[in-house]
């Protein structure tokens, strides 16, 4: 009967202000301590099993219960990052929320997934060209300025020097983007590809500085400095590397023939870019194969359950 009537005269007023459990009935207070002891130990006293056990007071247990209640309240009122109110407001409206990408992924058919994979693979080259032009904005601006305000000599040669710089910048930026894996994975955030694009521009500027240092050393009659490769790639290395596994001897000889007019850095970068494209094509083929295998598995399950559709019969007929 103590739970209903209570014993309110046992606690002094000063303790009632500091202890949140002082106004509770003694039996109810003991029950709460027993029930919340293990949870409170795991949250505020993780090191209690090591060394001497601390002395538990009513104040510490009150704080422990408050922390447990606060953490459970935060879990119940958790909202996704899309919400403008991260303090838990309108959590009941966000309870069954799913991002648009997840909803579209669940509603796509196998044909839609194949179309997305092939479309992404085919449009990657166009995106790489656009990103390379963005990195060569200064060179493109120099060509435009030459045609507008250039001298007669530059106009008569159609701004050959500026166009040559722009063409080399575009080609090298595209090679850096391919070698670094730009847009090679369509599931990662856009920020990753933006960082790759900026890093490609950084490597291109570093390459120009290294070439200028080598030319200055040759002009001074000293030994040119040696630099490490600009791009660390798993394809370049020992004979047992992925480079020799992906290319046949005839393909490697054809590549060497294509690299005759390039310097050492350009040839290495071109080879890494080609091998990266080959690996991306292989990954795309594996993704397409996985979709076909999943479709075949579901078709066999429907056939075993007696739920074969008309399209399943047509595919089975043509494959047989």
Both tokens assigned to 310: 């008309």
Both tokens assigned to 11: 């606690």
Which residues, 6 or more positions from 33, have their beta carbon under 8 angstroms from its beta carbon? 61
As separate numbers, helices (DSSP H) first and strands (DSSP E) second, the chain gives 14, 0
Cα–Cα distance list, 71 to 59, 77, 96 (Å): 19, 10, 21
pLDDT, tens digit (0-9, with 9 covering 90-100), for 29-39:
777 777 666 45
pLDDT, tens digit (0-9, with 9 covering 90-100), for 150-184:
888 888 888 999 999 999 999 999 999 988 988 87
Judge whether 40 and 57 are in contact, CB under 8 Å. no
Judge whether 151 and 161 are in contact, CB under 8 Å. no
Both tokens assigned to 105: 């992924």
DSSP letter, residue 122: H
89: left (phi over 0), alpha (psi -120 to 50) or beta: beta
**Residue at token pair 């994975």:** 185
Main-chain dihedrals φ then ψ at residue 77, nearest 5 degrees: -105, 25
Judge whether 185 and 177 are in contact, CB under 8 Å. no
pLDDT at 297: 87
Both tokens assigned to 191: 């920020």
Sign, Cα dihedral of 36, 38, 39, 42: positive
Ranges in the chain, pLDDT < 70? 1-22, 35-77, 101, 104-107, 186-187, 233-247, 251, 320
pLDDT, tens digit (0-9, with 9 covering 90-100), for 257-295:
777 778 777 878 887 888 787 888 788 888 888 888 888
* Angle of CA points 290, 293, 294, to nearest 5°: 85
Distance CA 170, CA 137 (A): 10
Distance CA 254, CA 274 (A): 12
Judge whether 177 and 200 are in contact, CB under 8 Å. yes
């Amino acid at each position: 009967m103590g739970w209903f009537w209570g014993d309110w005269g046992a606690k002094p007023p000063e303790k009632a202000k500091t202890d949140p459990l002082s106004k509770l009935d003694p039996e109810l207070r003991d029950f709460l301590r027993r029930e919340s002891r293990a949870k409170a130990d795991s949250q505020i006293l993780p090191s209690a099993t090591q060394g001497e056990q601390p002395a538990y007071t009513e104040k510490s247990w009150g704080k422990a219960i408050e922390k447990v209640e606060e953490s459970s309240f935060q879990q119940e009122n958790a909202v996704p990052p899309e919400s403008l109110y991260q303090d838990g407001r309108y959590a009941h409206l966000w309870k069954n929320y799913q991002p648009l990408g997840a909803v579209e992924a669940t509603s796509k058919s196998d044909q839609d997934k194949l179309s997305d994979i092939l479309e992404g693979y085919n449009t990657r080259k166009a995106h790489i060209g656009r990103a390379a032009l963005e990195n060569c904005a200064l060179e493109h601006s120099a060509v435009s300025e030459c045609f507008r305000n250039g001298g007669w000599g530059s106009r008569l040669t159609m701004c050959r020097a500026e166009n040559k710089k722009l063409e080399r910048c575009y080609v090298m930026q595209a090679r850096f983007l391919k070698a670094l894996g730009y847009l090679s994975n369509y599931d990662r955030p856009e920020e990753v590809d933006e960082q790759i694009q900026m890093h490609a521009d950084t490597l291109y500027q570093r390459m120009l500085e290294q070439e200028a240092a080598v030319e200055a050393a040759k002009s001074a009659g000293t030994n040119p400095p040696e630099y490490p490769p600009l791009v660390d790639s798993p394809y370049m290395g020992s004979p047992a590397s992925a480079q020799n596994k992906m290319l046949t001897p005839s393909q490697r000889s054809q590549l060497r023939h294509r690299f005759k007019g390039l310097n050492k850095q350009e040839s290495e970068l071109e080879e890494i870019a080609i091998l990266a494209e080959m690996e991306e094509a292989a990954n795309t083929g594996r993704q397409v194969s996985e979709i076909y295998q999943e479709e075949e598995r579901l078709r066999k399950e429907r056939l075993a359950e007696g739920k074969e559709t008309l399209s399943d019969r047509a595919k089975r007929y043509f494959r047989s």
